[in-house]
């Protein structure tokens, strides 16, 4: 399969780019070039925003009924369902996600989002009538927010793109999507489906580009709303730029989530669950539960068992279905994770498995050894800073109240789990931890419910009716 492309998807048509700049997509496993595609420039963004602006101000899309837009998005859903395997292979090729995870989540989860948003849109109160406090009725309308800039990261590229694209489309917005430089290929596959589904010209552009071009998109006067997923540092910058311009913004940012293991937890079930919740996508996930909080009396037992479980996971070629841990997306990310592993040792944490150095049997690729530290103090940098790799910190606690305090002692508040034989006790813990999403003996995302974070983990919510409402403006009409 060849992934090379020579055009950009601007305003719903394949367009010659304004410059000769090219993105070389490099396999994180082989370190060889997988594809060459155009890199978007400021001029390309200007063209994309102009197309979106015209389509919103003058075109049919915002003026269609919700039912008409639903019909077209439903067609997209059918096309997407037919290409899940292809999408999974593309994402694994470009960013190194293990194909087992790509087949489980990278491709199916975006399609599930489409179906969930379609169900929500059919019941959404686009226009409702209520009794006013002054004696007359009021009509309350949800109207499209306008031209949306959607900026997505590389770790779960389709998941984060569709969390913005689908509600924006259903709301009647037009949209310019900017994928990361590392992951431009899945966007091209999505563009083909948008055309086939019948999305009108001008409504969607997909332009992979770097940070400076992305900032131009954020500050563009033709953009009404910005939706961003990525690092907290970048989110702060984008939030500041939007604040200066009073531009609508939603931010889904970083995390340093805690998994609290209560004293009555079933160890085997907990370890099996942590393999996914802590190490999904090779640890390159904002919701990864990388702080594992355990009762002090069971610390060594659980830490040793966790290290044994992690050490037994298969690290290797992400295209091999047997691989559970793949490479980091880029050399810079590999180096970043290795620096944190060295820092953990310097800080005095006890290394149980992993550490620096290339995993055995892998001569190429941006791999790191899955690592477990024990005896970690929550004040250590490895417990406070987002590493974005397969590095876990086991932290002891003396009481459930102390465990909740440790979980909350973080700048972040995105996700978390509690593991226990007593669901009621788990729900009580969940109520006390300041995180936007939480699981009792599991972690998942239900696309009928809002997703997002407290504190430095973001502003706004995705999924559910709340996620759809992020792409609307409210209007009150007094009768």
**Active-site annotation, residues:** 252, 286
Q: Is 476 helix (H, G, I), strand (E, B) or coil?
A: strand
Q: φ and ψ at 176, to 5 degrees?
A: -115, 120
| Pairing status of strand 350-355 against strand 291-295 | unpaired
Angle between helices 108-123 and 84-95 (to 10 degrees): 120
Q: What is the rounded CA–CA span in Å between residue 56 and residue 45?
A: 16
Distances (CA, A) of 93 to 23, 185, 406, 437: 15, 9, 38, 30
* DSSP-based three-state secondary structure for 477: strand
What length does the chain have? Answer: 479
DSSP string covering 349-388: PEEEEEESSPPTT--SSS--EEEEEES--TTSHHHHS---
Q: Tell me how far apart the alpha carbons of residues 181 and 201 are, in angstroms, rounded to a whole number.
A: 25
CB 186 within 8 A of CB 111: no
DSSP 40: P
Q: What is the rounded CA–CA span in Å between residue 450 and residue 26?
A: 35
Gyration radius of the chain over CA positions: 23
Backbone angles phi, psi at 213, to 5 degrees: -65, -35
- Give the strand pairing for 13-15 and 8-10: antiparallel
455 — alpha (psi -120 to 50), left (phi > 0) or beta? Answer: left
DSSP-derived pairing of the beta strands 258-261 and 248-252: unpaired
- Please give the Cα distance from 224 to 347 (Å, whole number): 46
Measure the CA–CA gap between 280 and 288, rounded to whole angstroms. Answer: 7
Closest CA to 392 of 254, 288, 294, 263: 288
**Cα gap 57→53, rounded to integer Å:** 6
Distances (CA, A) of 457 to 71, 379, 464: 34, 19, 18
DSSP calls for 375-428 = S--TTSHHHHS---SSEEEEEEESSHHHHHHHHHSSSEES-EEEE-S-HHHHHH
Task: Give all strands (DSSP E) within 169-321, no chain letters.
Answer: 174-178, 204-206, 225-229, 248-252, 258-261, 291-295
The answer to whether 403 and 299 have CB atoms below 8 angstroms apart is: no
């Amino acid at each position: 399969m060849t992934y090379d492309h020579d055009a950009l998807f601007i305003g719903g048509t394949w367009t010659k780019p304004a410059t000769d700049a090219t993105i070389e997509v490099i396999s994180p496993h082989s370190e060889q070039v997988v594809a060459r595609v155009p890199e978007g420039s400021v001029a390309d963004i200007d063209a994309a925003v102009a197309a979106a602006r015209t389509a919103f101000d003058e075109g049919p899309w915002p003026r269609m009924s919700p039912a008409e837009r639903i019909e077209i998005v439903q067609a997209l859903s059918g096309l997407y369902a037919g290409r899940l395997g292809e999408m999974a292979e593309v994402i694994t090729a470009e960013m190194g996600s293990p194909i087992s995870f790509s087949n489980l989540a990278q491709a199916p989860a975006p399609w599930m989002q489409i179906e969930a948003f379609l169900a929500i849109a059919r019941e959404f109160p686009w226009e409702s009538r209520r009794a006013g406090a002054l004696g007359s009725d009021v009509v309350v309308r949800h109207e499209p927010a306008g031209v949306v800039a959607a900026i997505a990261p590389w770790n779960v590229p389709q998941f984060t793109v569709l969390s913005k694209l689908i509600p924006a489309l259903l709301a009647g917005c037009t949209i310019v999507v900017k994928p990361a430089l590392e992951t431009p290929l899945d966007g091209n596959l999505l563009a083909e489906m948008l055309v086939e589904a019948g999305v009108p010209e001008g409504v969607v552009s997909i332009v992979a580009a770097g940070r400076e071009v992305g900032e131009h998109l954020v500050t563009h006067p033709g953009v009404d709303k910005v939706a961003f997923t990525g690092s907290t540092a970048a989110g702060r910058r984008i939030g500041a730029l939007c604040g200066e311009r009073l531009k609508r913004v939603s931010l889904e940012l970083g995390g340093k989530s805690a998994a609290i293991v209560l004293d009555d937890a079933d160890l085997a079930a907990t370890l099996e669950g942590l393999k996914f919740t802590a190490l999904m996508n090779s640890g390159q996930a904002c919701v990864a539960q990388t702080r594992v909080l355990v009762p002090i009396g069971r610390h060594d037992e659980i830490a040793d068992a966790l290290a044994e479980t992690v050490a037994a996971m298969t690290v290797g070629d992400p295209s091999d279905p047997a691989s559970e841990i793949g490479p980091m997306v880029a050399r810079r990310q590999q180096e970043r994770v290795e620096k944190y592993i060295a820092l953990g040792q310097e800080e005095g944490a006890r290394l149980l498995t992993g550490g620096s150095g290339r995993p055995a049997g892998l001569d190429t690729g941006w791999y790191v050894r899955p690592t477990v530290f024990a005896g970690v103090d929550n004040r250590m940098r490895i417990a406070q800073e987002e590493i974005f790799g397969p590095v876990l910190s086991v932290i002891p606690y003396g009481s459930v109240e102390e465990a909740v305090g440790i979980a909350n002692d973080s700048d972040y508040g995105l996700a978390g789990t509690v593991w226990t034989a007593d669901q009621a006790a788990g729900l009580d813990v969940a109520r006390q931890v300041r995180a936007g999403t939480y699981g009792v003996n599991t972690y998942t995302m239900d696309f009928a419910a809002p997703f997002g974070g407290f504190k430095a983990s973001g502003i706004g919510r995705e999924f559910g009716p709340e996620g759809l409402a992020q792409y609307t403006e409210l209007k009150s009409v007094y009768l």
